[in-house]
Amino acid sequence: MDNLSLLLDGFAQALQPQYLIWAFIGVLVGTAVGVLPGIGPAMSIALLLPLTYTLDPTAALITFAGIYYGGMYGGSTTSILLNTPGESASVVTALEGHRMALAGRGAAALATTAIGSFVAGTIATIGLTFLAPTLSQWAVTLRPSDYFALMVIAFITVGALLGGSPIRGMAALGLGLFVGVIGTEGTSGQQRFTLGIPELGDGIDVVLVAVGLFAVGESLYVASRLRKGPISIVPVTGSFRTWMSREDFRRSWRPWLRGTVIGFPIGTIPAGGADVATFLSYGAERKLSKHKEEFGQGAIEGVAGPESANNAAAAGVLVPLLTLGLPTTATAAIMITALQSYGFRPGPQLMTSQSGLVWALIASLYIGNIMLLVLNLPLIGVWVKVLQVPRAYLYAGILLFAGFGAYATNFLVADVAILLLIGLIGFGMRLYGYPIAPLVIGAILGPMAEQQLRKSMLISQGDPTYLVTSPFAIAAYLSLIGILILGLWLRRRGGAPDEL
Amino acid sequence: MTARAGEYGFAAAFAALGAAVLAGAGSIPRPSAVSGIGPQVFPYIVGAVLLVSGLGVLAGISRGHAGAAEAGEDVDAEESVHWSVIIRLVLLIAAFGLLIGPTGWPVAATVLFVGAAWTLGAPRSWPSVLIGVVMAMAVQLVFGSALGLSLPPGPLLEWTGIG
């Protein structure tokens, strides 16, 4: 098959020593930032965007993909071992995995997470390999109005389904769209909302938005109510070879596969990202388990399923990213920015015009998954040490890298001022319960959506019904309504996982 | 400032920004050469989203739907917000911006790191200063020297040829 030979070419590329090293650095950095509270893959990739000035595109994207996958692995380690689990995507893992750790079975929880993530990541990457070429061939036939429909779906699902409050999500989205509007408009050359400040003429750099929100905003917020006292971590005992018993394997393999099957499709559609997938998987495992009484007390199925779903969804997110140029998570949105900084136009043409790059990236995902499996189990001692970094130095370090990321974008002091302002907005948003991701997606996807809207109106000569009358657009808007109803219903159930 | 007032104020800022965007969108000139819709249409949509959602949040707060502050591994939700810490960190970032031109990256970054670490409760001793210097220099060497970003080394280091 043609795709298979392209994939083999990708492997030939990705297996070159320099790319292997970048993949290794990527998964290592990714796991470390995943383990560390306060930093995630979105922020790390945003901070490392200046790398795109000096690295070749393949090396940069392989590094970023490694960070993306690594962050997924690392995050679960934190929620299993740290005595104060966070409330983000890994809330379900925290529920069962943390109980397992407290019961002295932390090693089994970590092992089923790592192997499950590997299984799910690999199967989902195979799914990506076969789905992406077909999807991108079909996507070439889409009209501008169809793209606009897809973007509206992404905006509304991300805005309404992420975070606790849909209306606050829409407000955050609006702010992101506004940030995207600031600057010189491409088609007409008009200045919009620059207030006569020359530095705003080129718009606000996405790096500043992402770093300001994720790094500065997060640091300010954590600093304002920093948990005092020692960092308490559940100790892990035993050698990694004896971590999972035969019984653990017997109870884990079905949840791994089920999690993959649930996670991958949810990742490919813009339906609120990995959170929904983990909740669904947790609910399914709880229903199907023969050990229902263990759920809530540390059931291994409740770790194996959601963690696999989480990783499969992460790979699924790459499908619309590579075939449509449509980011559905904040991390994916920042990877789009990396592509743009090389002058590549994200969209269905990417698979053909940059086929070498895309296939090397896909091959590196397989390699990264193996590296992560090999790295994670034996190196758990290292990650436990990383988890114990004194928080004063951790957040000071995050601020230092934020300053670096902001300044290295354009080497302008004005950017540091913008960074600070965006950081304060991010602080307020966290304090008052506004989700951050819709803002980032709005800022990155907003200008693309405007382009598609204007193209559509140009084709239709100003007739707005053109936007909603193509068969694809009709199907898209109908499924948006379906996704919203389903998502809000799931959220009401997901908000209280004990009642699932 | 009570938490409630802050929350109202923050939501009102979204609504006010929306109103401002709607007002400002009208004054974006539409060049006659542009066919299709002009550069002011999308801002109208954005302004409307901001205004409506801002008002929606305000209405929600008045009906008792307060925003849930974000939880996190290092966040003590019981703790009230320490505004003095926020002010100090903001001043440190501002100082970083002002210093990086005249003193270069290593000095500005060290000031930011050590100041932030001390603000967050690190021991006020020489070892924490040393950690800051090492961090700043590591970034300078890796990104500046090895990867070729033009980070300013500053007058203290210019003679060494690092940069």
Q: Is the ipTM of this complex over 0.90?
A: yes
Q: SS3 for A412?
A: coil
Alpha-carbon distance values, B51 to A174, A413, B154 (Å): 9, 32, 46
Average model confidence (pLDDT) across chain B:
87
For residue A76, list chain B residues with Cβ-Cβ distance below 8 A.
none
pLDDT of residue A273: 65
pLDDT tens digit sequence for A115-152: 999 999 999 999 999 999 888 888 888 899 999 998 99
pLDDT of residue A449: 93
Average model confidence (pLDDT) across chain A:
86
pLDDT of residue B118: 95
Place of tokens 């957040």: A395
pLDDT of residue A499: 34
pLDDT of residue B110: 96
Model confidence at A1, pLDDT cuts 50, 70, 90, reads low
Q: Which of B14, B76, B100 sits opposite A175 (nearest CB)?
A: B14
Count of residues for chain B? 163
pLDDT of residue A154: 87
Chain A: give the shortest CA distance to residue B43, in Å: 7
Q: In a mutagenesis test of the A interface, which of B41, B53, B92 is the best target, namely the one with the most A β-carbons within 10 Å?
A: B53
Specify the higher pLDDT residue, B143 or B109: B109
For residue B36, list chain A residues with Cβ-Cβ distance below 8 A.
454-455, 457-458, 461-462
Q: What is the mean pLDDT of residues A174-199?
A: 87
Which residues have CB under 8 Å from A225's CB, separation 6+? B75, B76, B77, B79, B80, B81, B82
CB contact under 8 A, A225 and B81: yes
Chain A: give the shortest CA distance to residue B148, in Å: 7
Q: SS3 for A385?
A: helix
Q: In a mutagenesis test of the B interface, which of A168, A233, A391 is the best target, namely the one with the most B β-carbons within 10 Å?
A: A168
How far, rounded to the nearest angstrom, does the alpha carbon of residue A275 sit from its chain's CA centroid? Answer: 11
pLDDT of residue A497: 40
pLDDT of residue B161: 62
Specify the higher pLDDT residue, A258 or A294: A258
CB contact under 8 A, B97 and A228: no
Look at A249-258, A350-359, B39-48, B145-154 and tell me which has the smallest mean pLDDT. Answer: B145-154
Q: What is the mean pLDDT of residues A198-213?
A: 87
Distance CA A170, CA B79 (A): 28
Q: What is the mean pLDDT of residues A437-456?
A: 91
Chain A: give the shortest CA distance to residue B160, in Å: 21
CB contact under 8 A, A433 and B70: yes
CB contact under 8 A, B74 and A220: no
For residue B54, list chain A residues with Cβ-Cβ distance below 8 A.
171, 174
CB contact under 8 A, A178 and B148: no
Chain A: give the shortest CA distance to residue B47, in Å: 7
Q: In a mutagenesis test of the B interface, which of A211, A224, A418, A450 is the best target, namely the one with the most B β-carbons within 10 Å?
A: A224
Model confidence at A491, pLDDT cuts 50, 70, 90, reads low
Q: Which of A173, A188, A187, A103 is nearest to A333 (CA)?
A: A173
Q: What is the mean pLDDT of residues B110-128?
A: 93
pLDDT over 70 for what percent of chain A? 94
Q: Which of A192, A416, A431 sits opposite B81 (nearest CB)?
A: A431
Distance CA B3, CA B140 (A): 41
CB contact under 8 A, A87 and B150: no
Alpha-carbon distance values, A113 to A97, A281, A295 (Å): 9, 14, 17
Strand pairing report for A191-192 and A183-184: antiparallel
Specify the higher pLDDT residue, A402 or A3: A402
CB contact under 8 A, A462 and B37: yes
pLDDT of residue A195: 84
Q: What is the mean pLDDT of residues B141-158?
A: 81
Instruction: Give the global pTM.
Output: 0.89
pLDDT of residue A168: 93
- Using N-to-C axis directions, what is the helix angle for A144-161 and A471-494, rounded to 10°? 10
> Does residue A463 register a pLDDT over 70?
yes
Chain A: give the shortest CA distance to residue B139, in Å: 8
State the DSSP string of A112-173: HHHHHHHHHHHHHHHHHHHHHHHHHHHHTT--HHHHHHHHHHHHHHHHHHSSS-HHHHHHHH
> Does residue B129 register a pLDDT over 70?
yes
Q: Which of B57, B136, B147 sits opposite A54 (nearest CB)?
A: B147
The amino acid that residue B113 corresponds to is: F
Specify the higher pLDDT residue, B162 or B153: B153
Q: Which residue of A has its CA nearest to B26?
A: A192
Distance CA A403, CA B140 (A): 13
Model confidence at A24, pLDDT cuts 50, 70, 90, reads very high
Specify the higher pLDDT residue, A196 or B33: A196
Model confidence at A84, pLDDT cuts 50, 70, 90, reads low
Specify the higher pLDDT residue, B79 or A280: A280
Q: In a mutagenesis test of the B interface, which of A187, A228, A399, A448 is the best target, namely the one with the most B β-carbons within 10 Å?
A: A399
Structure tokens, A362: 């896909």
> Does residue A87 register a pLDDT over 50?
no
For residue A221, list chain B residues with Cβ-Cβ distance below 8 A.
70, 72, 75
> Does residue A188 register a pLDDT over 50?
yes
Distance CA A167, CA B15 (A): 12
Residue A82's DSSP bridge partners are A233
pLDDT tens digit sequence for B5-48: 889 999 999 999 999 999 988 888 877 666 677 888 899 999 99
Q: Which residue of B has its CA nearest to A424?
A: B90
pLDDT of residue A496: 41
pLDDT of residue A89: 52
Q: b/e per residue, A106-137, with b = 16+ CB within 10 A?
A: bbbbbbbbbbbbbbbbbbbbbbbbebbbebbe
pLDDT tens digit sequence for A29-58: 899 888 888 777 888 888 888 777 788 899
Q: What is the mean pLDDT of residues B57-65?
A: 89
pLDDT of residue B130: 95
pLDDT tens digit sequence for A246-276: 888 888 899 999 999 999 998 888 765 677 7
Chain A: give the shortest CA distance to residue B17, in Å: 9
For residue B122, list chain A residues with Cβ-Cβ distance below 8 A.
390, 392-393, 396
pLDDT of residue A240: 59
> Does residue B1 register a pLDDT over 70?
no
Distance CA A137, CA A147 (A): 15
pLDDT tens digit sequence for A219-242: 999 999 887 777 777 777 666 566
CB contact under 8 A, B132 and A396: yes
Rg of chain A over all Cα atoms, to the nearest angstrom: 22
CB contact under 8 A, A181 and B82: no
Q: Which residue of B has its CA nearest to A436?
A: B70
> Does residue A493 register a pLDDT over 70?
no
Chain B: give the shortest CA distance to residue A299, in Å: 22
- Contact indicator for B17, B50 with CB cutoff of 8 Å: yes
Q: Which residue of A has its CA nearest to B134?
A: A397
Q: Which of A82, A193, A457 sits opposite B24 (nearest CB)?
A: A193
Q: In a mutagenesis test of the A interface, which of B120, B128, B143 is the best target, namely the one with the most A β-carbons within 10 Å?
A: B120
pLDDT tens digit sequence for A147-163: 999 899 889 888 887 66
CB contact under 8 A, A54 and B74: no
